[in-house]
Homo-oligomer: A and B are copies of this chain.
């Protein structure tokens, strides 16, 4: 039986694109905010890739966000204030996220297993009222998803075997990494995470244990499975 659910956060629980674009509009008037937001997010995976490969020691995502901000700002010919990087702490949940998490939290442990740091996830939990029981993810593993260590460190911290834990994500590759380690998997599509022209992760690409349109349906399916 699933005793704990781990959640991807950026894209799965919260809509990063809208909030980042709003913050960019405010801090950098004259810049195309959505294009800037996409470019900033585009630097996310390459920055982590160096750390996953061992070319750089573990650096928290807060710092990578700040470094990436300045790299992208230079490309846009503007100077960005350091504080703009804190916009990642103030993202808004999808409409079903908070109610869905509350429903799931009555039956099972819930925690983010995100590449965000404890500091970032705690501030986001405060802002978006995400009712986590604890924060797991990159910081406790000192590495980045989809490296196996991150999922395994989360299970270890909960003192649960992988088969008692379910990973929830809007990204097929995140679930593939979790399934390979024995975790259960749930896919919730977020087809506008990358805007109206999103092409990836529109549908489940494998027979994940649960495929649900939102967190409320996920909560119901979990109860049905008990």
Chain A interface residues toward B at CB < 8 A: 60, 62, 105, 109, 111, 117-119, 121-123, 125-126, 131-136, 139-140, 157-160
A122–B140 touching, CB < 8 Å: no
Q: What is the copy number of this chain in the assembly?
A: 2
From B117, B132, B136, give the contact of A159 (CB < 8 A): B117
Residues of B within 8 A of A135 (CB): 133-135
A126–B140 touching, CB < 8 Å: no
Residues of B within 8 A of A159 (CB): 60, 62, 117, 119
A158–B122 touching, CB < 8 Å: yes
The chain B residue sitting closest to A159, CB to CB, is B119
Which of A121, A157, A158 lies at the interface centre, i.e. has the most chain B CB atoms within 10 A of its CB? Answer: A157
Residues of B within 8 A of A133 (CB): 122-123, 125-126, 132, 135
B119–A157 touching, CB < 8 Å: yes
A134–B122 touching, CB < 8 Å: yes
Residues of B within 8 A of A118 (CB): 134, 136, 140, 157-158
**Smallest CB–CB gap between A153 and chain B, Å?**
10
B119–A158 touching, CB < 8 Å: yes
How many Å lie between the Cα of A131 and that of B105 in the bound state? 12
Given contacts A118-B157, A157-B118, A158-B118, contact A109 B134 (CB under 8 A): no
Residues of B within 8 A of A160 (CB): 119
The chain B residue sitting closest to A4, CB to CB, is B122
**Smallest CB–CB gap between A158 and chain B, Å?**
5
The chain B residue sitting closest to A112, CB to CB, is B134
